[in-house]
């Protein structure tokens, strides 16, 4: 522990110490001392752990940079008219889904994390499908969705997809 000297507060001299970036102050109150810890962080410490593309927070700056790189790669491939294979943890855009007969399943489009990716048969041909977090009951045709990533990116930005259930009876007659 490194001594920082003393701080004068309300007429009392308070010794302070620094340990692993945390500054400790002891404040005399009645017959006791209150220990106060002030965490010293650089201004960019929080942003170093956050993916600048999606806003997701990671345990290490290395993981955050890898997430940015992977997101940019997937989006660039989609912009070039390709549909790259996805991996668990990738982030893509999904569309808004509004239902007349089962409004409880309404969904606002945006960024979402992929939890599974595989080939399924559609129209008699194998096609790539992605399953995403919070919509585990449905699979998205990645070939179709990849073609819309640029448009969805412009529309949604860094907004994350989320449920917007409509519980009104007139929009849940088929449920």
Residues 167, 89, single domain; the answer is: yes
Residues 85, 167, single domain; the answer is: yes
Residues 158, 98, single domain; the answer is: yes
Please report whether residue 148 resides in a domain: yes
Q: What is the pLDDT of residue 137?
A: 87
Please report whether residue 55 resides in a domain: no
Please report whether residue 73 resides in a domain: no
Q: What is the pLDDT of residue 7?
A: 45
Record the pTM.
0.71
Please report whether residue 54 resides in a domain: no
Range of the structural domain that residue 20 is part of: 2-39
Please report whether residue 116 resides in a domain: yes
Q: What is the pLDDT of residue 174?
A: 78
Select from 123, 112, 65 the least CA-distant residue to 86: 112
Q: What is the pLDDT of residue 102?
A: 87
Q: What is the pLDDT of residue 133?
A: 94
pLDDT tens across the length of the chain (175 residues): 444 454 444 444 445 444 444 555 555 555 555 555 554 444 445 569 999 999 999 999 999 999 999 999 999 999 999 999 999 999 999 999 998 888 898 999 999 999 999 999 999 999 999 999 999 888 999 999 999 999 999 999 999 999 999 999 988 887 6
Please report whether residue 117 resides in a domain: yes
Lookup result for tokens 């410490």: 45
The 8-class DSSP code of residue 97 comes to B
Please report whether residue 155 resides in a domain: yes
The full 3-state SS of 31-95, as one line of letters, equals: CEEEEEEEECCCCCHHHHCECCCCCCECCCHHHHHHHHHHHHHHHHHHHCCCCCCCCCCCEEEEC
Residues 35, 89, single domain; the answer is: no
Q: How many domains does the chain have?
A: 2
Residues 32, 94, single domain; the answer is: no
Residues 85, 161, single domain; the answer is: yes
Residues 95, 164, single domain; the answer is: yes
């Amino acid at each position: 522990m490194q001594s920082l000297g003393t701080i004068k507060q309300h007429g009392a001299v308070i010794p302070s110490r620094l340990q692993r970036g945390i500054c400790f102050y002891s404040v005399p109150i009645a017959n006791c001392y209150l220990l106060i810890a002030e965490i010293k962080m650089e201004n960019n410490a929080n942003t170093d752990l956050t993916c600048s593309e999606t806003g997701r927070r990671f345990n290490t700056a290395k993981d955050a940079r890898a997430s940015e790189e992977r997101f940019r790669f997937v989006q660039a491939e989609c912009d070039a008219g390709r549909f790259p294979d996805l991996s668990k943890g990738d982030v893509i855009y999904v569309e808004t889904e509004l239902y007349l007969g089962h409004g409880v399943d309404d969904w606002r489009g945006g960024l979402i994390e992929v939890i599974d990716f595989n080939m399924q048969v559609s129209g008699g041909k194998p096609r790539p499908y992605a399953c995403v977090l919070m919509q585990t009951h449905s699979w998205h045709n990645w070939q179709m969705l990849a073609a819309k990533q640029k448009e969805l990116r412009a529309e949604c930005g860094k907004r994350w997809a989320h449920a917007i259930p409509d519980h009104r009876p007139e929009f849940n007659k088929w449920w």
